[in-house]
Amino acid sequence: MDETLSLIDERVLRGQFTQHVVVNVAKIVNMRSDTQLADSVRDCDIINIDGMGVVWAGRLLGRDIPERVAGVDLFEKLIALAATRGFPVYFLGGTDDVVKRTAAVLVTRHPELKIAGTHHGYFWSDEKSVVDQIRTCGAKLLFVAISSPKKEIFINRWQRELGVDFVMGVGGTFDVMAGVVQRAPKWMQNWGMEWLFRVIQEPRRMWRRYLVTNGKFALMLIKERLSMKSASSS
């Protein structure tokens, strides 16, 4: 986390554009069939793992993964950094009420935080006007709270026209900040069970998504392990 935060700070201070993304089990699975999503993720300058399932799978496959970097935790640290540094921020996504409540909550926590603008996430008939608004508002950091794969594809499509130094997709973070949904308890986060907490909160919308993606990811992991064993024994 500290390494990621420091790197983002350095790049923003240099005015070096940075596109950031976090990956989890669902995103990795969906990247295999969605080429636009896959290309958008690969084009990012910083990729963090948000999901203990991916951390454990990577370690099982012999990858050196020091820790999980949860998107919502990184978001909160970046907001604190922006307030300290005087970096203006822009919030894009969620309903109009949620994005405005998110801004209000964060300004209450960080009175020195500069909000360059906000916009809800339902703008797909006129993306260009939203991009123009972001580019001319003076924001340095842009946070996009839209579901995957829309946010990744949107960010990648317009990255050079956004006029910001840093852009990050934050999924349902605004809902958490605004108090619309609760985040899983710390013990569930540590045990990789945040997905279960989300299913409990929104069973109709989430159960099928996690059942399918978790199952596919498990099969991918098994195949990779078998492939590694076969290669090492030949």
Instruction: Read off the pLDDT of residues 26-63 as tens digits, 9 standing for 90 and up.
Output: 899 999 999 999 999 999 999 999 888 888 889 988 88
Q: Is 133 left (phi over 0), alpha (psi -120 to 50) or beta?
A: alpha
Fold of 2-180: Rossmann fold (3.40.50)
8 A C-beta contact, residue 177 and residue 108? no
pTM value surpassing 0.85: yes
Q: Which residues, in sequence order, are CB contacts of 199 under 8 Å at separation 6+?
A: 206, 207, 210
Of the two residues 123 and 228, the one the predictor is more confident about is 123
* CA dist 3 → 74, 166, 181, 215, 233 (Å): 11, 16, 29, 32, 37
User: How far, in Å, CA of 166 to CA of 10, rounded?
Assistant: 11
What are the extents of the domains in the chain? 2-180
Strand ranges, E, within the chain: 18-23, 46-49, 89-93, 115-119, 141-145, 166-169
Q: Place 93 in a pLDDT band, splitting at 50, 70 and 90.
A: very high
**How many other CB atoms sit within 10 Å of the CB of residue 159?**
18
Residue 210: burial class (beta carbons within 10 Å; 0-12, 13-18, 19+): middle
The percentage of residues in the chain with a pLDDT greater than 90, rounded to a whole number, is: 63
Residue 234's pLDDT is what?
Answer: 61
Q: Across residues 7-17, what is the average pLDDT?
A: 96
DSSP string of 43-101, one letter each residue: T-SEEEE--HHHHHHHHHTT--------HHHHHHHHHHHHHHHT--EEEEES-HHHHHH
**Amino acid 233: pLDDT:** 65
Cβ distance 194 to 184 under 8 Å?
A: yes
CB atoms within 10 A of CB 167: 27
Please, which pLDDT band fits residue 140 given cuts at 50, 70 and 90? very high
**Summary mean pLDDT of the chain:** 91
pLDDT the model gives residue 68: 87
Mean pLDDT of the 177-202 span: 80
State whether residue 17 is helix, strand or coil.
Answer: coil
